[in-house]
């Protein structure tokens, strides 16, 4: 909903990133020296995600505009 309101269409790019993460979940840089919390970028959005080591589940936790203080909580 948030992305639609701001006329942002990233579905294909996001799906491509998720497919890459399924193959190599530790590809992108980690955050605050925490190996299971990592981030990637699509256009002007930064996404953070958590890797569950037990079953290799990847959960995208939030999306943030790079040049803004607005955040989108993903549930």
Per-residue model confidence as pLDDT tens digits over 47-60: 888 888 765 778 88
Beta bridge partners of residue 72, listed in sequence order: 63
Checking if the pLDDT of 1 tops 70, the result is no
Query: Residue ranges of the domains in the chain?
Result: 2-73
**Among 66, 60, 64, 68, CA closest to 14:** 60
pLDDT in tens, 16-31: 988 888 888 888 888 8
Return the ∠ at Cα 57 (arms to 22 and 23), rounded to 5°. 15
Q: How confident is the model at residue 66 (pLDDT cuts 50, 70, 90)?
A: confident
Using an 8 Å Cβ cutoff, are 52 and 21 in contact? no
Mean predicted lDDT score pLDDT of the chain: 78
Q: pLDDT band for position 37 (50/70/90)?
A: confident
Cβ-count burial 14-35 (b if 16+ within 10 Å, e if not): beebeeebeeebeebeeeeeee
């Amino acid at each position: 909903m948030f992305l639609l309101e701001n006329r942002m269409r990233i579905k294909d790019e996001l799906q491509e990133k998720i497919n890459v993460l399924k193959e190599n979940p530790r590809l992108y840089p980690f955050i605050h020296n925490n190996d299971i919390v990592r981030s990637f970028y699509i256009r002007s959005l930064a996404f953070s995600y958590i890797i569950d080591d037990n079953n290799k589940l990847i959960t995208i936790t939030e999306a943030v505009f790079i040049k803004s203080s607005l955040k989108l909580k993903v549930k």
